[in-house]
Structure 1
Amino acid sequence: MKSFIAVVLGLVVTCSVAFAQEDPPDALIKKVTEDVLTIVRQDKDIQNGNSKKAVELVEAKVLPNFNFQRMTALAVGRDWNKATPEQKKRLSEAFRTLLVRTYSNALTGYKDQTVRFKPTKMQSGDTDVEVRTEIVQPGSKPIQLDYSMEKQADGWKVYDVVVAGVSLVSNYRNTFSQEVRANGIDGLVRMIENKNKQLEASDK
């Protein structure tokens, strides 16, 4: 759970505004951190387990600034090329919903975490960078939290999150690969959609 909380905290901080192309990604993360953390700290409904408000927060702050198609492709791995355009669309939508539900559920467990930023190695003209941070939790060791980000025409987008050295998208790859081998791409879509239904039902 602590890892998921760290991911959520980082994602919300990272994605709380549309990225302006003239600013480096690490500066933008720092700029919005305190504003977002203040909102979360003051929202007692989310802290008390209001999943609906947590989902709305994640959808408003995270979705516009993530490349979910690339995240899905990385999570599916080589099997991505076997999917039809329609299957890719359904996979991306289902995986996006899964991540939103997972993050929003973890967000309700937020307490007193803070973010510590580390120097970002970035050269002029770079279009793919890693932003390194730590989540500091009272009474626990800091959790390393890194963001893989790419620059697109409409700004910087996150395409992977690495928690304590473990890639979020790679963490899904073995499960997804096993499902494709057993039941094909459609089986993987059904598996993710069923998981989303379970998470939605548990929120009610």
Structure 2
Amino acid sequence: MLRRLALATAIAFGTVVAAPAFAQTPAPAAADASQPTPAQVVQTIADQLASAIEGHRDELKKNQEKLISVIDEVFLPHFDLDYASILVLGQHAREASPAQRERFAKAFYNSITHRYAEGLLNYTRGRVKVLPFKGDLNDKRTVVRTQVVLDDGKLVSIDYAFRKGRNGDWKAYDVIIEGISYVTNYRNQVDAEIRKVGIEQLITNLETQGEKALETMAKDNKDKP
């Protein structure tokens, strides 16, 4: 099952990267018409990703840094990296200095992208189906629900949690795959690691070891009774 979900995970978390999904609470439809809706943002990402990969798979497979740059270009403008990082740090965000929070955000993002980048090479246009939006946009937060088609034809439910910025634009900050919030998942791992080695050492590990640091955290967390 985990192997079949690898593509879905890569598509959902090729970038990136909270709390569980927020309910879509009815609210007055006063959205800024000049800004794309969350559903339009997700569709734009899916379309841009397909365009960037189609015809370039062999080249991108040989050049991971170029693949990472594609991910940055497609995802970063639509992802609230700072907010997601604070949520991953949880209670430890208050004890971290501004410089540490900035370093963590960058190192965590880089680790995530390198971990899932190669899986995106299997992405083809049409794999992501954005489900019809029901209800009005919440004033500040909402969820876009999608389905990803796997190689065997089965569907995986993926939800994207969004929040509205001060200038009215919507950015994603969490991905929920089959009901599992990945930011919450990493928050638990980060919390355990900080309690073990401290926040400065965790940041250093992410900066120097990248995705290997994530793998170590996941293993340590899994091995706990």
- Shorter chain as denominator, the TM-score bin is 0.7 to 0.9
> How far is 1:195 from its partner?
2.8
CA 1:187–1:36 in 2, change beyond 3 Å: closer, same or farther? closer
Q: How does 1:11-22 map to 2 (within 5 A)?
A: 21-22=34-35
Residue 58 of structure 2 is matched in structure 1 by: 45
| Structure with the higher fraction of residues in helix conformation | 1
Residue 16 of structure 1 is matched in structure 2 by: none
Residue 67 of structure 1 is matched in structure 2 by: 80
Q: Percent identity between the aligned chains?
A: 26
In structure 2, runs of 5+ residues without a counterpart are 15-32, 214-225
> How far is 1:162 from its partner?
0.9
> How far is 1:68 from its partner?
1.0
State the SS of the aligned residue for 2:194: helix
Aligned mate of 2:11, from 1, 9, 12: 9
Q: Which amino acid aligns with 2:89?
A: V
TM-score (norm 1): 0.80
Structural RMSD (CA): 2.8
Aligned mate of 2:188, from 174, 177, 193: 174
CA 1:51–1:122 in 2, change beyond 3 Å: closer, same or farther? farther
Aligned mate of 2:173, from 142, 156, 159: 159
| Conserved 8 A contact 1:3-1:163 | no
CA 1:86–1:28 in 2, change beyond 3 Å: closer, same or farther? closer
Q: Which amino acid aligns with 1:163?
A: I
In structure 1, runs of 5+ residues without a counterpart are 13-19, 200-204
Residue 114 of structure 1 is matched in structure 2 by: 127
Report how many residues are paired: 193
Deviates more, 1:143-152 or 1:22-31: 22-31
CA 1:65–1:32 in 2, change beyond 3 Å: closer, same or farther? closer
Give distance in 1, aligned partners of 2:75 and 2:206: 20
> How far is 1:102 from its partner?
2.2
> How far is 1:67 from its partner?
1.1
TM-score (norm 2): 0.73
1:54 maps to 2:67: yes
Residue 126 of structure 1 is matched in structure 2 by: 139
Give distance in 1, aligned partners of 2:208 and 2:5: 23
> How far is 1:136 from its partner?
0.5
Q: Which amino acid aligns with 2:80?
A: N
Residue 108 of structure 2 is matched in structure 1 by: 95
Deviates more, 1:97-106 or 1:180-189: 97-106
Q: Which amino acid aligns with 1:160?
A: D
Give distance in 2, aligned partners of 1:2 and 1:113: 18
